[in-house]
Structure 1
Amino acid sequence: MKNIFNKTRHTFVAALLFASIPTAGIISSCSDDFLRYPPELSIPEENAFENPERVERQVVGLYASAKAGQLFGGRYFIYNDIRGEEFINRTSNNVTGYSSYQFTNDPSDTYIANFWRFSYLTINRANKFLADFDANPGVVSAEVEARYRSEAKFLRALCYHALIQLFAKPYTLDNGASTGIPLRLQPETSSANNNLAPSTVAEIYAQILTDLNDAELGLADDNGSANNNTTRAHKNSAIALKTRVLLAMGRYANVITEGNKIVSTAAPFTSPNRVAHALQANVVNVFRTYNTTESVLSFPMADTNPPGTQNQLGYYYNVGNIEYYLNQSAPGIYANTAAWPETDARRSGLTSPYSAAWHIVTKWSGASPFIDWVPIIRYPEVLLNLAEAEAEAGSLTRATALLQAVRSRSDANYTFSGLNSSSAAVQAILLERRIELLGEGFRIPDLQRRNTPITSVGAGNSIPVTDSRYVFPIPTSEALTNNDI
């Protein structure tokens, strides 16, 4: 693949200028119209807030930016899964993450730099959108403005959390005292503010929580349709993401507080408030029909806007190209047939033997143009987040019940036993996460938030938290344009 990331100050400034351009002309992620029909031509910045329709186009442009293949359309998931023990590389292709798989990537890696760049582009677009609202009052109603602002803050929080996971040491290592990443909250349209020292990990997490708390207040209770409840953030989306963020911080009591807003006290565990989230009886169907109450947030794709060449999840894991296949040996979870038997629908329906050597994940289609919707937040993750928090700081009984609910949806005959201590329950929950969330970008973050060494098939050894390779290095491109990094 051609390297499109030029490591010069001129290109960086051009990228920021591009980030500030109104995104009315970008295909959106909130309705079938925006997915299927050709976009309008980009409109001049001075007209971007001319009427309510154009303001909404700015919002949907933010989603389009976030779902780019270099970001949440594929690469975020891939980088968080291929470095562990669950997958084996087939192609030795650096374009599709081979150096990350081997832990040989360095600051000059252009593909990881693209993830960094697209994250900050999306953040800058959100910053610009929020500033434009300040400069253009009254174009939409106060309620609509609050909702749009909240969507921008939600997406900014999502991007910052992805960045801080990949490029900084875990919050739980030292309560966030480690050096983090630059915290950019103002729109940048020139090189004037390129220089910005990194904030601490704690400061980044504080901003993420501020954005999500604000988003919870302003987002809609319900977006009005199953499609919009899946593809655009609502109050429950912000709450669900907060359980993920707080779990990464080891703030278990707070996870319970947030989780209780969208999870009932006892089984069957469903959301008692606003959108009626619930586990689906058919787990395979969740990855085929998309608009279910299990999908808290997904980024939709269409043949007019696929994630892009060599970013798509089906291309990586399914027969599209089988860049990575399942590790059939210990310590890969696929090898643990006692914990994950054939009676489990997630094994029989979402993985498949392609050959004797290659067993693959089939959550996503292997057929080009790879337009499966990308699951950003699913309800079983929320249940497992809450289960782990309950095991650590709440009710062991409820923790076990939540864990059992997730398993029983896919394997009604499997019963957990012997979970009579917090440590035993936590280990069972962590194992269940490896099964339920396989290929969805959770393996490395789950290890990191527990300060656990990364058992890397690609590197051939264990990577402890003290190893500089435990997280990605800040890209050279940032150092060339930011003298304070």
Structure 2
Amino acid sequence: MRRLIYRISLLFSALLILNSCADDYLDTTPTDAIDKDQAFSTIKNVWGALNGIHRAMFMQYDRMDQAGQGSMMINFDMLGEDLVMNSSGNGWFNSTYKWRNHRSESSSMTFYSYRFYYKLIANANMIIHNVDGVVGPEEEKKAIKGQALAYRGWAHFMLVQMFGERYVAGQNNKQLGVPLMTEVTIEPQKRALVEEVYEQINKDLDEAILNLDAGIGREYISHISVEVAKGVKARVALAMQDWETAATYANEARTGFDLMSEKEYLSGFNSVDNPEWMWGSEQISIQNNYFYSFFAFMSANFSSSNIKSNPKSINSTLYHQIADTDYRKQLWSETGQEDDFPIPPGGKRYPYINKKFLAENSGSSIGDIPYMRASEMYLIEAEAKAQLGLYGEAADLLYALAIQRDEKYVKSTKIGQELIDEIMLQRRIELWGEGFRFLDLKRTNSKLDRTGANHKESLSIVMEVAPGDKKWQFLIPRDELNANDSIAQNPL
């Protein structure tokens, strides 16, 4: 069956996910009967289409390891060294941890990651190409279009990081990237060059920022604000080693967001009410993802078979690099045996297990999912400043974050690579479990090294991967290759 992005109706793809956000609209019009004229007949309906994209970020797809961006966050950390599996559990994410799934063109993971981000792009394209013709306030249309453009840029960015080789500043980045989908079309597209993909990503984000700046403000944190778009722009610049742009946009992005308190940091990373969260999905009771949820795999306390048998741990080497005076260290248990350290009824205890993520309770996997926080912007700005040789400014930025986590932290006097290493250490601690590690290793051309810690080789299989190895590229899914004669596979 020809199941791929280009062969599904992009209109229906965009609108089939409206059921969570436009109930009054769908009560009178079945989703399989929606046409373009109806979808873009009123500004309210266009908001519904945009809200459909927001809902797609954490809805259930085909399998329990396919629940929007939360599942991709788990995949990215499973491919790193900082998250540790303690057992095979009930099987979920095992092949990703072993570096097998993303290197199989027939795996459900490669298909899902490809389909998920291109679904968002297809949805965004429908809005981008139609919202200008809708009758309604210009400020609303700009806000809608800006968010759609930001989604399109962000989704292409996620795809090119996975399926393309890393971007290298100062070189001609003519390695194969991913198909660029900027039009409403069902025609298969060839893979654009990495430099072409990044050019389009930046074009989309720049236009998104202009529209969002001129549009009405967002109502919910699940919506993309101008600050979030600038945060994505900072991430892209970091991946491109465009240090000045990364520093500028990270600084602008975090403006108006406070760093969280110790109490907030230790409260379970499950609420969009946290003042540090810039972007995230808010999950309400009627949108419960049950055993598909991010918290069904990553929380300490939800009573799923996966968590009971395979609670997730931190890399022991990383744990022991955290200062005892740093309250973040309380998110993990060195022995795992403390009676007050939460586990679900009947759950197993292992060393270095986490309680960073807490579900609503052992019987409910509900929890909000963080996609962007202000602390990340401090770390981006610090890394960029250090790369520019502005070591004093970089140390000041790192201190501004670290002193909030550890009252005994002393401002770094390091320079050069030693300072960059300290910033990256803080990044690993701060963003543990939030889906950054694989992408960070790849963009910095670093080695995967799971040796000397608590990874079990019998579970992980792969303990080391050299920088630049072909294994850093996801394989194009077989369904895409079968349906698109214009596309080429990555090295097998």
Q: TM-score, normalised by structure 2?
A: 0.83
Q: Which residue of 2 aligns with 1:329?
A: 316
Q: Secondary structure at the match of 1:402?
A: helix
Using the alignment, how far apart are the partners of 2:190 and 2:163 within structure 1?
14
Gaps of 5+ in 2: 61-65, 338-348, 488-492
* Contact map agreement 1:183 1:198 (CA 8 A) in 2: yes
Of 475, 478, 484 in structure 1, the residue corresponding to residue 477 of structure 2 is: 475
Of 50, 58, 61 in structure 1, the residue corresponding to residue 49 of structure 2 is: 58
Using the alignment, how far apart are the partners of 1:428 and 1:97 within structure 2?
30
1:180 is displaced (CA, Å) by 0.8
Using the alignment, how far apart are the partners of 2:296 and 2:336 within structure 1?
14
Using the alignment, how far apart are the partners of 2:206 and 2:268 within structure 1?
28
Using the alignment, how far apart are the partners of 1:223 and 1:343 within structure 2?
43
* Contact map agreement 1:222 1:234 (CA 8 A) in 2: no
Of 404, 407, 427 in structure 2, the residue corresponding to residue 409 of structure 1 is: 404
Write the mapping of 1:228-377 to structure 2, written as runs, cut at 5 A: 228=219, 230-262=221-253, 271=255, 276-282=256-262, 283-285=265-267, 287-307=269-289, 309-320=291-302, 321-322=306-307, 323=310, 325-327=312-314, 329-330=316-317, 333-334=318-319, 336=320, 339-349=321-331, 354-355=336-337, 357-366=350-359, 367-377=362-372
1:145 is displaced (CA, Å) by 1.2
Q: Which residue of 2 aligns with 1:88?
A: 84
Q: For residue 19 of structure 2, what is the amino acid of its counterpart?
A: I
Q: For residue 74 of structure 2, what is the amino acid of its counterpart?
A: I
Using the alignment, how far apart are the partners of 1:459 and 1:410 within structure 2?
35
Using the alignment, how far apart are the partners of 1:444 and 1:394 within structure 2?
26
Of 427, 444, 449 in structure 2, the residue corresponding to residue 450 of structure 1 is: 444
1:385 is displaced (CA, Å) by 0.1
1:318 is displaced (CA, Å) by 2.4
Of 464, 467, 476 in structure 1, the residue corresponding to residue 466 of structure 2 is: 464
Q: Does 1:184 align with 2:181?
A: yes
Using the alignment, how far apart are the partners of 1:50 and 1:198 within structure 2?
34
Q: Which residue of 2 aligns with 1:44?
A: 34
Q: 1:409 to 1:115 in 2, by over 3 A?
A: same
Q: 1:94 to 1:176 in 2, by over 3 A?
A: farther
Q: Secondary structure at the match of 1:172?
A: coil
Gaps of 5+ in 1: 1-7, 29-33, 264-270
Of 370, 377, 385 in structure 2, the residue corresponding to residue 382 of structure 1 is: 377
CA RMSD of aligned residues (A): 2.8
Q: TM-score, normalised by structure 1?
A: 0.84
Q: For residue 392 of structure 1, what is the amino acid of its counterpart?
A: Q
Q: For residue 297 of structure 1, what is the amino acid of its counterpart?
A: W
Q: 1:369 to 1:220 in 2, by over 3 A?
A: farther
Q: Secondary structure at the match of 1:279?
A: coil
Q: Secondary structure at the match of 2:377?
A: helix
Q: For residue 438 of structure 1, what is the amino acid of its counterpart?
A: W
Write the mapping of 1:39-188 to structure 2, written as runs, cut at 5 A: 40=27, 41-42=30-31, 44-45=34-35, 46-68=37-59, 70=66, 72-92=68-88, 96-105=92-101, 106-133=104-131, 137-172=133-168, 174=171, 176-188=173-185
Using the alignment, how far apart are the partners of 1:175 and 1:390 within structure 2?
24
Q: Cα deviation per residue 1:15-44 (whole Å; 9 max; x = unaligned)?
A: 44575453573314xxxxx79x99745362
Using the alignment, how far apart are the partners of 1:432 and 1:51 within structure 2?
47
Q: 1:131 to 1:243 in 2, by over 3 A?
A: same
Using the alignment, how far apart are the partners of 1:325 and 1:204 within structure 2?
35
Q: Secondary structure at the match of 2:269?
A: helix
1:254 is displaced (CA, Å) by 1.3
Q: Secondary structure at the match of 1:237?
A: helix
Q: Cα deviation per residue 1:331-351 (whole Å; 9 max; x = unaligned)?
A: xx12x2xx3133322221466
Q: Cα deviation per residue 1:423-463 (whole Å; 9 max; x = unaligned)?
A: 11100000000000000011111111111112245234321
Using the alignment, how far apart are the partners of 1:301 and 1:206 within structure 2?
34
Q: 1:229 to 1:18 in 2, by over 3 A?
A: closer
Q: Which residue of 1 aligns with 2:18?
A: 25
Q: For residue 279 of structure 1, what is the amino acid of its counterpart?
A: L
Q: 1:13 to 1:215 in 2, by over 3 A?
A: closer
Q: Which residue of 2 aligns with 1:210?
A: 203
* Contact map agreement 1:154 1:211 (CA 8 A) in 2: yes
Using the alignment, how far apart are the partners of 2:10 and 2:210 within structure 1?
31
Q: 1:19 to 1:378 in 2, by over 3 A?
A: farther
Q: Secondary structure at the match of 1:296?
A: strand
Q: 1:13 to 1:24 in 2, by over 3 A?
A: closer
Q: Which residue of 2 aligns with 1:434?
A: 428
Using the alignment, how far apart are the partners of 1:385 and 1:80 within structure 2?
19
Q: For residue 326 of structure 1, what is the amino acid of its counterpart?
A: S
Using the alignment, how far apart are the partners of 1:38 and 1:286 within structure 2?
35
* Contact map agreement 2:42 2:134 (CA 8 A) in 1: no
Q: 1:351 to 1:374 in 2, by over 3 A?
A: farther
Q: 1:151 to 1:21 in 2, by over 3 A?
A: closer
1:73 is displaced (CA, Å) by 3.6
Using the alignment, how far apart are the partners of 1:23 and 1:307 within structure 2?
18
* Contact map agreement 1:233 1:297 (CA 8 A) in 2: yes
